[in-house]
A and B are shown apart, each in its own frame.
Chain A
Amino acid sequence: MSTRSRLFVTGILLCLALGATIFCAMQTVQAIQRFQQVRTLASEGDVSIIQPWMTIHYVSRIYYVPESYLYEQLNIAGPGSISRVPLRTIAVRYHRSLDGLIKDIQTAIKTYRKQHPHHHSFTNLHANELLALERRMT
Chain B
Amino acid sequence: MAAVGIPIPITLLLLAAGAFAALGDFNVALLFLISFSALVCGDNAGYWIGRIWGSKVLNWVERSKRWNQLIPPKRMVRSRQYFQRRGGWAIFLSRFLFSALGGVINLLSGSELYPYPYFLLFDTSGEVLGAIIPLMLGYIFGASWEAVGDVLGYSSFLLLSLVVVILLVMRLIKNARILKQVNAANISQADVTESNLEGVPIIATTEISTNPSGNLPLL
CB–CB B165/A35 < 8 A:
no
CB–CB A7/B144 < 8 A:
no
Could you tell me which residues of chain A, from 1 to 47, have a CB within 8 Å of some CB in chain B? 3-4, 6-7, 10-11, 13-14, 17-18, 20-21, 24-25, 27-28, 31-32, 34-35, 37-39, 42
A49 to chain B, nearest CB (A): 6
With contacts A7-B172, A38-B143 taken as known, whether A21 is within 8 angstroms of B158 at the C-beta atoms is yes
Partner of A20, one of B142, B144, B161, B176: B161
Report the stretch among B31-39, B51-59, B149-157, B210-218 that lies at the interface: B149-157
CB–CB B179/A7 < 8 A:
yes
Report the stretch among A56-64, A70-78, A97-105, A106-114 that lies at the interface: A56-64
> How many contacts between A and B, using CB within 8 angstroms?
90
Partner of A10, one of B147, B153, B158, B175: B175
Measured between alpha carbons, how far is A39 from B23 in the docked complex, in Å? Answer: 17
B133 interface contact, C-beta 8 A: no
With contacts A7-B176, A14-B168, A58-B23 taken as known, whether A42 is within 8 angstroms of B142 at the C-beta atoms is yes
Partner of A62, one of B142, B153, B175: B142
For the complex, count residues of A whose C-beta is within 8 A of B: 36
Partner of A21, one of B24, B147, B161: B161
Interface size class of B (residues with CB under 8 A): 20 to 34
Q: Mark A74-99, 1 if CB is under 8 A from B, else 0.
A: 00000000001000000000000000
Question: Which of chain A's residues have a CB closer than 8 A to the CB of B24?
Answer: 136
Question: Which of chain A's residues have a CB closer than 8 A to the CB of B23?
Answer: 57-58, 61-62
Measured between alpha carbons, how far is A3 from B175 in the docked complex, in Å? Answer: 6
Partner of B165, one of A17, A54, A84: A17
Measured between alpha carbons, how far is A11 from B176 in the docked complex, in Å? Answer: 11
CB–CB B179/A31 < 8 A:
no
20 A-B residue contacts at CB 8 Å? Answer: A4-B179, A6-B175, A7-B175, A10-B175, A11-B172, A20-B157, A24-B158, A25-B158, A27-B154, A27-B158, A31-B147, A31-B155, A35-B147, A35-B150, A51-B146, A53-B16, A58-B25, A61-B23, A84-B25, A133-B140
Known: A31-B153, A133-B140, A136-B22. 20 other contacts (CB 8 A): A10-B168, A10-B175, A14-B168, A14-B169, A14-B172, A17-B164, A18-B165, A20-B161, A21-B158, A24-B161, A27-B154, A27-B158, A28-B155, A35-B144, A38-B146, A38-B147, A51-B143, A58-B20, A58-B23, A133-B22
Which 5 A-B pairs have CB atoms at the shortest separation, nearest pair first?
A35-B147, A24-B158, A31-B150, A21-B161, A28-B154
Report A's interface with B, CB cutoff 8 A. Answer: 3-4, 6-7, 10-11, 13-14, 17-18, 20-21, 24-25, 27-28, 31-32, 34-35, 37-39, 42, 49, 51, 53-54, 57-58, 61-62, 84, 129, 133, 136
